[in-house]
Structures are given as C-alpha cells and as structure tokens.
Amino acid sequence: MTTLQALIFDIDGTLADTEQHGHLPACNDAFAQLGYAIRWSWDEFKAMLPIQGNALRMRHTLARTMPELSPETLDRAVADLTQLKKRLYIDKYLPRLQLRPGVEQLITSAVDRGVRLAVVSSSYEAQIEALLQYRLPNVAGLFEPLLGKESGRKTAPDSPLYRRCLAELGTKSHQTLVIEDSAVGFKAAQRAGLPCAVIYNDYTFGEDFAGAALVARSLEPFTLDQLAALCLPAEAA
C-alpha cells in the first residue's frame, strides 16, 4: 500500500456545507443592503453553482435583470456587492456553519500521523482562513499551501492550482489524495493526475464522477488507512 503523505481539501461543500447556509444568505443579504430587488432561492443558486464564484453569478444576474447598466457601472456594482458579501459571510454566516461529518476526525488523524494538509478552492482565501479558524482552530495554521481565488482559476483546463499545490507540498501524486464534492472539482484534480475521493452532497449527487478513486456520501465511515488503501495506487516496485 502506498504511504499517504498529503491531503488536499476543497472547501465549499467538502469541508463544510457552506453554499446553502453561508454563501447564499450572504449574497441575498448583500443584494438587500445595497438596494437590489434580487433574492436567489436555493434552487436558483444550485443551478448557478457550475459558474465558478459568486462574483460571476452576481454579474450574470445583474446583466440579465438590469441590461441598462453600462459595463463600468456593472463592474462597480459587482465589486461593491462582492466586498459586502465577503464581510457578511465571514462575520455573520460563517460562524453558524458546521464541518461535514467525519472531516474533523480525519484531519486530526492526519495531523497525528504527520500527513500534510493543503487547500485548493475557488473561494476567497480570507473566507477559507476564517472557516479554518472558526472550526479547526488548533490545526488551521497547518494547511499549507492554501490556494484560493486569488491564486488563480482552479478549474482552468491545465489545473494550475492543483499542479502548484503538489509542487509546493513536495509530495508525489501517488502519495497525495484530493477530497472533493463535485464533478468540476474532481475533474480539475484528475487533470492534474491526482487521485480523488469524491464526498458528494445533496446538490452534487448524481454528477459524473467516473474515474474517481472513491465516491461516497460521507467521510465518517473511513479511517485514514482505509482511504489510502481504497484511493492510492499501489506502490511501485
């Protein structure tokens, strides 16, 4: 069995159920506070999740519902909404979020075993850091590297964030396991040549995970050794 050297976590929907109870209400709160008559339902928000990032989702919605806005006005509106939404998410909604079942147990086991921890996400890095500080304060500083939106586009065709993360970890791809929740995230890891365990949720259930090392509803049933045995390729002779 290959020795597991590093775990790379996605954040939204993987580490915690952030979308429905964090990002969505924070976006709606920002719309309301800035005077826009826009309120996304959960079904509308789910349909927009393939669009990477709430700034782009806001831009698409404003452009569709307010076509009279000039490009410059649209840019300013999206920037204002995005900054307010980030503050609301971190200060008001993020403290209410809980980790998904099995996440804390797996991370604690990884730390005890000297397994490296990292993050590759489409979320803003301040939001990632805040979630880690709220829910995993004792180990938050061990997630290195932590690569979010500011570091590049996670879903770019050549998967630059996953490739950069692997290079900074200094581990081999067959010693490194990615934990994702969605097809778009899994495929980004796959393009970088990384084994991936997909821990789907209610809104990613049924997506195309063909080729994933593991597809499961929760991390809770799995130990670190079981994940390594199920997901990592056999050590080369």
If we measure between CA atoms, which residue out of 209, 178, 216 comes closest to residue 11?
178
Alpha carbons 94 and 135: distance in angstroms, whole number:
10
Residues 6+ apart with CB under 8 A from 83: none
List pLDDT tens digits, range 33-70: 999 999 999 999 999 988 878 999 999 999 999 999 99
CATH of 19-95, one of 1.10.3470, 1.10.4160, 1.10.150, 2.60.40: 1.10.150
Helical axes 71-88 vs 24-33, angle rounded to 10°: 120
Residue 2 has pLDDT above 80, yes or no: no
CATH of 6-16+98-231, one of 3.40.50.1000, 3.10.105.10, 3.40.50.720, 3.40.50.2300: 3.40.50.1000
Residue 237 has pLDDT above 80, yes or no: no
Res 175: pLDDT? 96
Confidence of residue 236 (pLDDT cuts 50, 70, 90): very low
Alpha carbons 168 and 17: distance in angstroms, whole number:
27
Alpha carbons 71 and 59: distance in angstroms, whole number:
10
Q: Please list the residue range(s) of the chain that carry CATH number 3.40.50.1000.
A: 6-16+98-231
Q: Please list the residue range(s) of the chain that carry CATH number 1.10.150.
A: 19-95
Instruction: Give the C-alpha distances (Å, rounded to integers) separating 12 from 35, 67, 144, 230.
Output: 27, 30, 18, 24
Res 1: pLDDT? 55
